[in-house]
Chains A and B, each alone.
Chain A
Amino acid sequence: MASPIKRTKRGVPEGLWLRCPGCQNAIFRKEAEKRLSVCPECGYHFYVSARERIEQVLDTGTFEEWDGGLRPTDPLEFQDKKRYDERLKLEQERTGLLDAAITGCGMIRARRVAFGVTDSAFLMGSMGSVVGERLTRLVERATEQRLPLIVVSGSGGGARMHEGILSLMQMAKISAALARYDREGGLFISVLTNPTMGGVAASFASLGDLVFAEPQALIGFAGPRTIKATIRIELPKGFQTSEFLLEHGFVDRIVPRDKLKSEIARTIDYCGK
């Protein structure tokens, strides 16, 4: 069967038309892109890459990357069906990224901020040593330079299995850096996007002074499949969505993509940073 929607090597559909997972309509790609990759029919928020996110949130041309020279390696000589070092090379070619996070500084409506973003297309946005180190340095610089800190998370993978226990320890490392930043009075706004799971959810993503979430994002600790396999009952509708978490008290605001920049700027002003 011929489909107008092609799956491409980036893991996101490309071509003139997009099938919207929200309303099942075929959406003219240009129409969605004009709206920051949000479905014009139903408001579904499509995946955006780390680079696109930087363009959407920061003032044009103000982003300055930090620690771009950090590169992943293969400390465990990990091998499943494929060797991890080969997998890394493929992911790097496919996404144009060295690893799953980009960090640096820039301006949001003329307010200088430290800014980090993970890209859920690079090994599911999982956190290994490079993501952990980049984000920790970002937090440390934000502390030194007394900058507000914004991190936009997207990670279906959580802590990266291929770097084993070292990935797990990144959770503690970043959390400790955020605790110091907090002690110095820093303002951290954490933005959760679809999906934010596992060790990313259970570390920096949850530690914002304010936690924003894009509508309808999947957010949680354990994956829905793991939960279903454990408890053997159907999961309630809307379980682990942004709206579910807001209802249970873990998200401050659900912020549609086109409002994200102005909401961040306003929060910075309220907190006097």
Chain B
Amino acid sequence: MDTPAPGLDFEQPIYEIESRIRAQQQSGDRRGEDELRRLRRELAETTRRVYDNLNPWQVVQVARHKDRPHTADYLAMAFEEFVELHGDRHFGDDRAILTGFAKLDQHKVMVVGHQKGRTYKERSACYFGCAHPEGYRKAMGKMRMAAKYGLPVICFIDTPGAYPGIGAEERGQAWVIAENMYEMSRLETPVICVVIGEGGSGGALGIGVGDRVAVLEHAYYSVISPEGCAGILWKSHEYAPRAAEALRFTSRDLLRLGVVDDVIPEPLGGAHRDPHQMAGRLKIYLVRALRELIDRPLPDLVASRYEKFRRMGVFLEG
């Protein structure tokens, strides 16, 4: 599964200019400065053109990009400290969900986030970011502890979906996801959720009920994967790009449908081109949201969290 990605096909015009820039730099041509400036301008324009016109299927490719920052990367880049806490006290320690104390700009918080891993070894250890019931139980256990000690919770969502397997069903995958939504809806501490890559169905929502729900510009959040949807409705995975269009799951759609509160803009050309800048923007967003939420009386906070989800849905009446 770990084939070296050749890069995304729609990014080819970007790679091409990048390689011309490298060639120009290596040529040592002294009159090349003007040419280099021109190429850099062209690179920015091309990147903007490509990224302003991403179709939903391309967004999925960006959200799954091998270099896209994961929870662990943001913990390293945007937080001052991370103290990992393991285990669900029932079955085990699911590597697909990271949990622990963290410091963000002097705020002490609890971070809960899906983890996909980078190397093949890491990726298989965490099932490519697909959590088992013990992952959701671990997440809920740590969130409950956070509420007890007055720590706000920050959830990073990045999963293709909850793991579909025998053990997962034996240990109550449906039950733990339901319980997490149930408990998060009434958790007495501020909860901020950010979809940083893939928001895959129930597996995402299992850590997705919060006072603020945001999505990175090129992340997506969907009821089903485009491949799964294509398989069921078109009877072939090849229709995934069509399903991606139909499902309306890009950040712009999510905002329009009232499912997310905010879209966090990504650096030019996506988070994978400049993880540090992305981490900086994420940090600014989180700190601002924390400041807005931490002084609110808890009953108000929980009541408005209820109302926020209560409003979701579109139907006719009368």
Contacts and interface: CB of A to CB of B under 8 A. Distances in A.
A230 to B, nearest CB: 5
A180 B257 CA distance: 25
Nearest to A219: B174
A206 B316 contact: no
Contacts of A166: 257, 259, 312-314
B30 to A, nearest CB: 55
Contacts of A204: 178
Interface in A60-74: 67, 69-73
B173 interface: yes
A172 B233 contact: no
B232 A165 contact: no
A159 B315 contact: no
Given A164-B222, A169-B309, A227-B169, A221 B164 contact: yes
Interface string B231-274: 01110000000110011110001100101000000000000000
Contacts of A249: 172
A175 B175 CA distance: 12
A227 B174 contact: no
B316 A227 contact: no
Interface stretch (A2-10, A114-122, A194-202, A252-260): A194-202
A226 interface: yes
Interface string B131-148: 000000000000000000
Interface in B153-195: 162-166, 168-175, 177-179, 181-183, 185-186
A226 B246 CA distance: 21
Contacts, number: 198
A141 interface: no
Interface stretch (B31-39, B115-123, B202-210, B275-283): B202-210
Nearest to B316: A71
B260 to A, nearest CB: 9
A161 to B, nearest CB: 5
Interface in B5-59: none
Contacts of B2: none
B174 A206 contact: yes
A3 to B, nearest CB: 25
Contacts of A79: 246
Interface stretch (A23-31, A32-40, A235-243): A235-243
Contacts of A165: 221-223, 247-249, 253-254, 257, 259
Given A80-B233, A133-B315, A176-B209, A169 B259 contact: yes
A176 B162 contact: no
Nearest to A75: B314
Given A161-B233, A165-B223, A176-B309, A202 B315 contact: no
Contact of B175 (A206, A226, A236): A206
B150 interface: no
Contacts of B182: 175-176, 178-179, 182, 207
B26 to A, nearest CB: 46
A179 B183 contact: yes
B202 A202 contact: yes
B166 A221 contact: no
A78 B257 contact: no
Given A132-B313, A165-B259, A207-B182, 14 more contacts: A73-B315, A129-B315, A161-B247, A169-B309, A171-B205, A177-B310, A179-B182, A179-B185, A182-B182, A221-B162, A221-B174, A223-B164, A226-B164, A231-B166
Across the A-B interface, the 4 shortest Cβ-Cβ residue pairs: A222-B164, A129-B313, A176-B185, A201-B174
27 contacts: A70-B315, A76-B246, A76-B247, A128-B313, A130-B315, A159-B202, A168-B221, A170-B313, A171-B178, A172-B181, A172-B185, A172-B312, A173-B313, A175-B178, A179-B182, A179-B183, A182-B182, A203-B177, A206-B175, A207-B178, A221-B164, A221-B173, A221-B177, A221-B202, A222-B168, A227-B169, A249-B172
